[in-house]
């Protein structure tokens, strides 16, 4: 009996150093406790796989750019919409608030404090940005998403020859071929759009709307090229990090956009009711807030795509992404589907691929030559430039 008591005592108190003869049989049947360290390690490994996944980064970049275009078109497509400066001010405010929140949470670690001297030097670039984004929303207000996407390619031509004039750039024969295809796609798109509008019941009003859209699109091409070329001229002396360009752009444009909205736009209660009808008011506010956050998504996803793939892959993705953006206009906004419009989309799609391949070939030739004095651009700045051309 005493031996049995001692055995029971030994089982209950394993820290005495004595082991039960049944311990070896019981251990396999005792479920192991989950290790918190192991679970955290598994979560970290899964996040690392996502962060280093090229397909996920490409998908994120495509979805962010498509959603940005679709949301912008939805907000400005109201028949009575006329508050573009206010809309762009909301975008910039949301973008700044989001960047500051991410900085406080530790998600953004390389954002330097605002420097007023840098702000003064960057302010002219911000004014060019205001012109670019305002004319972009106005042209998107009057044109369909496919036509807007096709005509946006013309900006690439103006920027290319601007670089030839001011930075000693060059245009290869393959790039010239892509430029010809871009012009051809724009002509076909304009022809198809005009023909479709002339066959409607209110042909005169539809044609007037298209003409206004083409005028705004022409101004947008000029403003976008001026912004990109001006940014390249100034940014080499600014020493901006990845997030600095976006922060300065949005922070400096807020007062300009607010003042323009207060001076040039109608803030009467009647006009506000027309711009924000009760049946779509909440959706419009959500879209305006999302568009401000989408600018950050596009910048992050662009830098992410460049980091985990290559600049070559990123250029090709940017070219291929124009097709789903154009198709999204056909799907979400019932843009007219005709032989001309589909042909214009296809020609524009091919021109984008040819241009991306021309840039790849040009970069390969440059990498095999002696170093030049071409200014370096951060990933965020490069993505901003590519977004302006998309």
Q: Give the pLDDT score at 206.
A: 85
* Residues 175 and 351: beta-carbon distance below 8 Å: no
Q: Give the pLDDT score at 127.
A: 93
How many Å apart are CA 198 and CA 202, to the nearest integer?
A: 8
Q: Give the pLDDT score at 9.
A: 45
- The DSSP annotation for 274-330 comes to HHS-TTTHHHHHHHHHHHHHHHHHHHHHHHHHHHHS-HHHHHHHHHHTHHHHHHHHH
Q: Give the pLDDT score at 17.
A: 47
**Chain Cα centroid distance, residue 50:** 19
Q: Which two tokens stand for residue 209?
A: 């709307």
Q: Give the pLDDT score at 32.
A: 57
Q: Give the pLDDT score at 49.
A: 79
Q: Using CB atoms within 10 Å of the CB of residue 240, give its burial: 0 to 12 exposed, 13 to 18 middle, 19+ buried.
A: buried
Return the residue matching tokens 């999204």.
328
How many Å apart are CA 256 and CA 224, to the nearest integer?
A: 18
How many Å apart are CA 138 and CA 158, to the nearest integer?
A: 20
* Residues 85 and 260: beta-carbon distance below 8 Å: yes
Q: Give the pLDDT score at 220.
A: 94
Half-sphere exposure of 246 (CA within 13 A, CB side): 34
Q: Give the pLDDT score at 222.
A: 93
**Chain Cα centroid distance, residue 143:** 20
How many Å apart are CA 230 and CA 224, to the nearest integer?
A: 10
How many Å apart are CA 103 and CA 109, to the nearest integer?
A: 6
Q: What is the pTM (predicted TM-score) of this model?
A: 0.79
How many Å apart are CA 152 and CA 213, to the nearest integer?
A: 12
Of the candidates 209, 210, 204, 208, the one whose C-alpha atom is nearest the C-alpha of residue 192 is: 210
Q: Give the pLDDT score at 245.
A: 85
Low-confidence ranges of the chain (pLDDT < 70): 1-41, 242, 310-312, 368-390
Q: Give the pLDDT score at 378.
A: 44
């Amino acid at each position: 009996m005493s031996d049995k008591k001692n055995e029971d005592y030994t089982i209950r108190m394993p820290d005495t150093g004595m082991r039960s003869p049944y311990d070896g049989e019981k251990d396999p049947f005792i479920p192991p406790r989950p290790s918190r360290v192991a679970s955290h390690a598994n979560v970290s490994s899964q996040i690392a796989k996502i962060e280093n996944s090229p397909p996920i980064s490409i998908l994120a970049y495509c979805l962010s750019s498509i959603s940005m275009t679709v949301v912008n078109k939805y907000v400005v497509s109201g028949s009575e919409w006329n508050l573009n400066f206010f809309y762009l001010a909301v975008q910039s405010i949301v973008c700044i608030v989001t960047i500051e929140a991410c900085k406080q949470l530790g998600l953004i670690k390389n954002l330097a404090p605002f420097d007023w001297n840098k702000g003064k030097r960057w302010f002219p670039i911000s004014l060019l940005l205001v012109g670019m984004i305002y004319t972009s929303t106005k042209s998107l207000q009057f044109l369909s998403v496919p036509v807007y996407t096709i005509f946006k390619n013309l900006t690439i031509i103006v920027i290319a020859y601007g670089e030839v004039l001011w930075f000693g750039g060059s245009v290869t024969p393959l790039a010239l071929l892509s430029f010809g295809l871009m012009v051809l796609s724009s002509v076909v798109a304009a022809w198809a759009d005009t023909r479709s509008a002339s066959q409607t019941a209110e042909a005169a009003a539809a044609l007037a709307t298209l003409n206004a859209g083409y005028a705004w699109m022409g101004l947008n091409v000029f403003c976008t090229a001026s912004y990109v070329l001006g940014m390249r001229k100034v940014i080499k002396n600014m020493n901006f990090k990845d997030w600095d360009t976006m922060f300065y752009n949005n922070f400096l444009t807020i007062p300009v956009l607010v003042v323009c909205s207060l001076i040039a736009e109608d803030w009467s209660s009647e006009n506000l009711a027309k711009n924000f009808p009760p049946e779509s008011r909440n959706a419009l506010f959500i879209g305006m807030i999302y568009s401000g956050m989408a600018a950050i998504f596009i910048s992050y996803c662009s830098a992410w795509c460049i980091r985990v793939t290559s600049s070559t892959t990123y250029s090709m993705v940017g070219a291929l992404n124009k097709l789903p953006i154009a198709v999204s206009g056909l799907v979400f906004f019932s843009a007219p589907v005709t032989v001309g419009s589909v042909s214009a989309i296809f020609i524009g799609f091919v021109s984008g691929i040819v241009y991306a391949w021309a840039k790849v070939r040009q970069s390969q030739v440059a990498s095999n030559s002696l170093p030049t004095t071409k200014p370096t651009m951060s990933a965020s700045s490069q993505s901003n430039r590519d977004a302006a051309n998309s």
